[in-house]
Structure 1
Amino acid sequence: MIWLPLGFFLTALLYASVGFGGGSTYSALLALVGFDYRLLPIVSLCCNVVVVTGSTLRFARAGEMPWRGALILSLLAAPLAFLGGLTPIREEAFLALLGMSLIAAGLALFLPRAPQAAATPTRAARHMGWAAAPLGYLAGLVGIGGGVFLAPLLHLTRWNGARRIAATASLFILINSLAGLVGQLTKNGAGRFAEALTGALPLLVAVVIGGQLGSLLALRILPERVIRWLTAALTIWAGSRLLLG
């Protein structure tokens, strides 16, 4: 199973380089190796928290975090992420929903990006809170952060400049991953936390290293567009494998 930490490392590197956590693909990789689907979101959300905490701190130190807007979106979604984590779901429904989410997320990465400098927002940009809440529920339900869905919507509506959207996505993923994790632990019991993370230490180490390299180095080596395409390809492949069995 040596390829699994490598897959987590690659996922963290690619996703961190474009401001995401990678929770959706962590979940898919774990599902593909037959990991208990009830424990799977706990591992994925913990990995998400590890990756995006560093990204959020770096964006904040650089003065790129639009705190008011980012907190509004994140805090609107967080209660729904908690409820999503609490919601019981059958394995077949979980895997189908996760697979469809992955394919949708991969396709969303191909959507146009906002310019680096903030252009005039569209009228829809003022109503992004309505989109944030259901994304929070999906995040908690299947063990993702939801930022991979939110960011394309923010770009399409020119909600802010590209760097500030990436910063917002990082904070959104961090807060919703924590809320979803609390919901998952409330549903499954604290004992499941230790069970889920038993043997997952190599995966956490892999995402720590991959996340740091992704956020610090990857954008200097490859153009952002190429990284997004690679991330999209990985995400769509994982989703297709889940749906096709």
Structure 2
Amino acid sequence: MADPSNASPSLAGKVALVTGGSRGLGAAIAAALADRGADVAITYAASAEKAEAVVAGLRAKGVRALAVKADQSDLDVAKPLIDRVIDEFGRLDILVNNAGIAIQGQSVDDPTLDGAHYNRQWQVNVLGTIAVTRAAAPKLTDGGRIVFIGSRLGSVVPFPGVADYAGTKWALAGYAKGIARELGRRDITVNVVQPGIMPTDMAAEVAGELPNREGILDMHPIRRIATLEEVADTVCFLAGPSAGYISGEQINMAGGLGI
């Protein structure tokens, strides 16, 4: 994580919500926002213990923090989630749509394709994210920030077995552009960060379903995976005061994959 002694409190007084913030990239983003002075709410789907550990770490940085159980596959949790954050902190300035799942490995013509399994990915990654965004938009402060965590696979698909996952991330990129247009009149920026492979539990869970890891790394001009800190710092930049004129953009963080 970033060293708070070296980070400017550029987000002091701001309130951020990071969906899926109990582990992996979400936890790293929450910590980076807190290092910059933001109060942070996170959501989690199942592990209250992990979420509370993240909250304890955030509070140790001197900010207010909250964990809310909100399974994004249930669209009805979105409005109560936003209401809870507003009730707790009095405002919402930054929404980071990070929560998502990765179901990969089967081709669309595979006769054993588990359609229901793959459909849940659309429910969580797209419909759940849209529900949270819709609930947050009317209450987000003018001059606020929305950052979607997409994937480089949303625009470059270099190997098979990821069509549905890629589709969910491309859908979010299009949706982000649309709401950037709609919310721009309130000086709210909307952008998408598109990482490549990262050292997360989710990536490890699908690694066995994808082609050879070394071959995938060979596709990257910068032949390594992204660090969580790199991606989190980029999210913080887009959430901060220096990015007020960047909106409707997709920021690729995949070591040059696809160039």
Per the TM superposition, whether the score is higher than 0.5 is no
TM-score by length of 2: 0.31
Indicate the structure whose relative CO is greater, using CA pairs within 8 Å and at least 6 residues apart: 1
Higher strand proportion: 2
Report the structure, 1 or 2, having the larger helix content.
1
